Amino acid sequence: MMRIGLRLHDSRVCPLPERLRNIREQGFCCVHIALGKTEGLPKEPEALTPGYAMWLKEQFSVAGLDMAVLGNYKCIAEPDALEAERVLYTYRAHLRFASLCGCGMVGTESPLNEKRVAPDKLRETSRSEEAYRCFVNRLKSVVSDAERFGVILAVEPVYKHIIYDPKRARRMLDEIASPNLQIIFDPVNLIDPERLEAREEVIAEAMELLAPEIAMIHLKDYVIEGGKMKAVGCGFGEMDYREIVRFAETKKPYIHATLENTTPDTAEHSRRLIEELAAVSA
């Protein structure tokens, strides 16, 4: 019952109507769209007009696809005050745009601005209380905009970001306490390469602690190369999806679940793998 989709920028590059038609013909139901990562689409906040929104909505409707999420990954915890205002402006523009083009969710993450942090201090700084407070205080403003526009803002926890594990994500949700703040659940992004042995424990904890607010799932795989984790498409790595798919099928019927790190040649293989697991868990 999952609504399985694809990231637009992982599809074959061609004019948007053809691109969406190709995605539908490959058997997908929805699309994750990140304007900044998709060739040929206006992306600046000033370009996100009602007319552009209506045009985009029409293209998706003709193709028979849901616009599952509009991605905006600007650093909310930006320490520079002027740059922070610009970042908040981009979120306001994306939330307004999403409300006009029939997309119910804007997706984001919680990275630090890596240009402002020494590489060897990034992990420690991301997990600090100071970084958490900066992120949450700014996030409150973005969530307030989401409430006004009637759109969900969904934060994706990532092991190397400020919201790095299920407990901190739960803390964020409880502190802000808004029905418009939800979670994108990406199991691979929660896996810390330094604690691979805890993989199943962390994923299970996320499904337990965050279940009420999980509004979307991202599905990808990983391999370890040279001691580092590399993301790949589903079915080309080491992930076991059975419990994740069972969670989605039993707790989140019809949830949007978009594949990541696929190519036009591998996307259908990854989709069929997830669909086969879903059929078994039904």
d(CA 123, CA 140) in angstroms, rounded, equals 24
Q: What is the CATH number of domain 13-219?
A: 3.20.20.150
The answer to whether 22 touches 59, Cβ cutoff 8 Å, is: no
Report the pLDDT averaged over residues 226-248: 95
Please, what is the average pLDDT of the chain? 96
The answer to whether 138 touches 84, Cβ cutoff 8 Å, is: yes
Spell out the domain ranges in the chain: 13-219
Among 2-6, 77-81, 260-264, 275-279, where is mean pLDDT lowest? 77-81
User: Which pLDDT score is estimated for 227?
Assistant: 82
| pTM of the predicted model as reported, rounded to 2 decimal places | 0.96
Distance (Å) of CA 4 to CA 29, 56, 171, 172: 6, 20, 29, 28
User: Which pLDDT score is estimated for 170?
Assistant: 98
Give the model's confidence band at 282: pLDDT under 50 very low, under 70 low, under 90 confident, else very high.
low
Q: Is the pLDDT of residue 119 over 90?
A: no
Residue 119 CB burial class (10 angstroms; 0-12, 13-18, ≥19): exposed
